Every structure is written in structure tokens, then in C-alpha cells.
Structure 1
């Protein structure tokens, strides 16, 4: 029994060490990309560091994918991790920040830091119980991957491709960027169907959550008002009984006289 507890404790310590190490590497990679984009420091050294961390995160992703018991759930929950190892542009490293969110959630850091307030509970309910985080991850993945393929087939920059993907998925469609090749039009068609569908689900999820919260607040207010009214009625009844008792005492004293 003691040996099992010791093994469980060591496993937990290794897991915490792994998460802390990944968190530090995530912050380091984001810092290097930020420095590269801002033109700070040695560009060559930063590129070497970014590419080295890219390999580390790619290996980590593949190992976790192989070891996970449910690959379908893993691919949905780790969509940002997959985007974070795309070698097309260093800016994709910012998607690795999703690991920080999972680290905070897995180890219940808000609760441990006594920050588990009403706001954090509402945030958790919105992000996970409604499935918003999964819909958001899939939507972002579709937009980014479509932009990536569009940039390759249409010979466009990543910035222009992302702009095209956003305007297409949100049905804005300014028309300043359009596909000219057959493969580019296929990508656009897939994005129109998949992207618009998931963005519609996102919108309905947000509106449904807001409506549900509004109903909960209204119901809570009604219950509070009813409780206050019942309390007031109880006090009035008690006061009435005391007045009746006092009146009876007065009448009895008059009879004695």
C-alpha cells in the first residue's frame, strides 16, 4: 500500500515537472518569436532557438498522440498544439500558449491560489460545459489551415491568406483576395462550408449561454424577492400576534377593574 502511494506520488511529481518544463519552453518560444518580430537581439540565434523548440514541441505532440487512449478527443483538444508546430511562420508559436490554459486547468491553479471566484466558475462553465473551447479550436484550425493551403496554392503571403480566410469564413467577403486556381477554389469551398458552419455554432453557443445566464439571474432574483416577501410576511404575522396578545392583556385588565 505504501509502495503504491509512493509510486503515485512520484508519478504526480514527474507530471508536474513535465508541465512546468513545457510551460517554460512555451514562454521561451513565444519570447524568441516576439524578439524576432520586433527586431531585438541576434536574428540568427533566435531562428536557431525557434527551430530547435519547434522540433521539441513536434516530438512532444507525436509522442502524446501515440500514447493517448483516445486520439479523436486528443486531436480536438490539442488543435492549438498542432497549429503551434506548423513550420511555415514563427508566429504560429503563439498557439502554444494554449498549453498554459490546460496547465492552469489541470492543476486547478485558480482554486489553489484562492482565485476560484464566481467569475472563474462562470468562465469554466462557458468555455468547457458549453463546448465553446472545442468549437473555437476547430474553427481557428480550419481558418488557419485554409489560409496556409491558400498561401501555397495562390502564392500569397501568410498575412494576406489569413485575411482572406477570415473574411471568407465570416461571410464578409471584401473581394480584395480571391482564388484563381482550381485547388484554391476547392479550399475556398471547404472553408465556406466548414468555417461558416462552425462560426454559426460559436454564435449560437454564445447567445444560448447569455440567454441561460439571464434566465438564471432572473430566477435567482425572483427567488430572493420571494424569500424577502416571505420573511416580511412572517414578521408581520409575528407582530400581529404580539399586538393581539397585548390587546388581550389590556381587555383582561379592564375587566378586572
Structure 2
């Protein structure tokens, strides 16, 4: 029993550690897109390499331990995407000044971002409100990243565009002109609007369900009070009958 508890604690600690590292890596990539940091420069590259090493060891150790390798790979595709060593390739191609490869690596970094976001799927409740919040944020970040790369705008502007597009506000102050930018727009419009619509519906249902729960509790309370009053009336009737 003690061993089982210890294993549970270790497993929970492991899951939390992986989640924290995933979130940290996502933030670094997003900040790099926003040009707030340079993820290929010290100290961010050291931290990113450390996270990548941990994820790689974790992935391949689980792959080796798994009995069905094919099933493991197909079931952990997000984990595989999250260990793409994009930043390491950046060093060489930045030095070589190969522009097209450099752009391709930026797109691969976006793939890694998708993998990291997908990696977090098992750390959250995948039902209802939390699920829709998670997917909506993921779509907004991925759409903004694609737009930032393709349209060569800063990430803050791209995120603004992604939010206004997904919420159907569409101020029209910025719009995509490249093929990839238009693809990002289609993704945000189709997937983003759908999930944000479901998110809005879930929020409404959340409050409605809370009201229903409160109403049921009040009704149950009134029912109990009614039962108690009936019991008291019955006792009073019995007392009156005895006196008579």
C-alpha cells in the first residue's frame, strides 16, 4: 500500500514537472515570436536545450519500455513533435545565412509549438469548459504564430488579429496577404470560431447549471423543512389526542 502511494506521488510529481516544462517552453517560443527574447541566445538556449533533452530522454525511455512500439508512437505524436530540435538547427543556418531554410525552420518551430501545446492535453480536464478554454487558447496562439511568420509582423499584432478574427469582430485594420497568412485565417475562422462559440455556450451552461444546482438545493432544503413540520404536526396531534 505504501509502495503504491509512493508510486502515485512520484507519478504526479513527474506529470507536474512535464507540464511545467511544457508551459515554460511554450512561453519561450511565443516570446521569441514576439521578439521579446532570442531563444537561440544565452541563457534561453541553455534552458531550451535542457527542456529538449529532458523531453527526448522521457520520450525514448517510454518508447523503449513500451511493448507495442507502433501504438506508442501513434498515441504520443504530440510528444514526438515537441522534441524536434529546431533551435539547434537555427545556429548553423543563421551562420550560413540560408534564408529559405531559415524560414522553414521557423515553420518547424511552429510545429514544435503545436506539439508542446498538444503535450499538455493530458494534464487538463478534457471535458467541458476547461477543454474549450484550452483548445481556444491553443488555436489563437498557433494562428497568431502562423500569421506572424507569414506576414512578418510582431506577435502582439498577430495575436490581436487572431483574437479579432476568432471572435468575428474583424476590425479590418490588418488582414493576410500571403498564402500562409490566409491559411492561418481559414484555420482561425473555422476552428477558432467554432471552439470559441462552444466556449461561450459552455460558460453560459456553467452559470445556468450552477443556478440549477442552487435551486435544487433550495428545493431540497424546503422539502426537509416541510417534512420536519409535518413530523411536528403529527406529534402535536398525538399529544392532543392523548389529552382528550
TM-score, normalised to structure 1, is: 0.59
Q: Name the residue aligned to 2:215.
A: 218
Matched, 1:236 2:238: no
Counterparts of 1:129-144 in structure 2 under 5 Å? 130-144=127-141
Query: Kindly tell me: are residues 49 and 194 of structure 1, through their superposed partners in 2, closer, same or farther at Cα, counting changes over 3 Å?
Result: same
Does residue 193 in structure 1 map to residue 190 in structure 2? yes
The answer to whether the Cα contact below 8 Å between 1:29 and 1:53 also exists between their aligned partners in 2 is no
Distance 2:60 2:154 in 1: 32
1:206 — aligned with what? 203
Structure 1 pair 31/139, CA: closer, same or farther in 2 (3 Å)?
A: closer
RMSD, aligned α-carbons: 4.5
* Cα 1:134–1:175 shift into 2, 3 Å: same
**Range with greater deviation from structure 2 (130-139 or 140-149):** 130-139
* Correspondence 1:48 to 2:45: yes
Alpha-carbon shift at residue 197 of structure 1 (Å): 0.4
* 3-state secondary structure, aligned to 2:43: helix
CA distance in 1, matches of 2:5, 2:168: 52
- Counterparts of residues 68-217 of structure 1 (less than 5 Å): 102=123, 128=126, 130-217=127-214
Unaligned runs of 5+ in 2: 88-105
What is the CA–CA distance in structure 2 between the aligned matches of 1:27 and 1:178, rounded to whole Å? 29
2:11 corresponds to = 15
The answer to which structure, 1 or 2, has the higher relative contact order (CA under 8 A, 6+ apart) is 2
Aligned residues, how many?
Answer: 203
Structure 1 stretches of 4+ moved >4 Å: 5-14, 19-33, 60-76, 85-89
Spell out, residue by residue over 1:199-226, the C-alpha distance to the aligned partner (whole angstroms, 9 max, x if none).
Answer: 1111112212222221122122112102
Aligned-pair CA distance for 1:194? 0.9
5+ residue gaps, structure 1, are 106-126, 249-257
Query: Aligned equivalents of 1:200 and 1:137: distance in 2?
Result: 13
CA displacement, residues 37-58 of structure 1 (integer Å, 9 cap, x when unaligned): 9x9xxx9642233322342355
- What per-residue deviation string (whole Å, max 9, x for no partner) do you get for residues 134-156 of structure 1? 32222222221111111111111
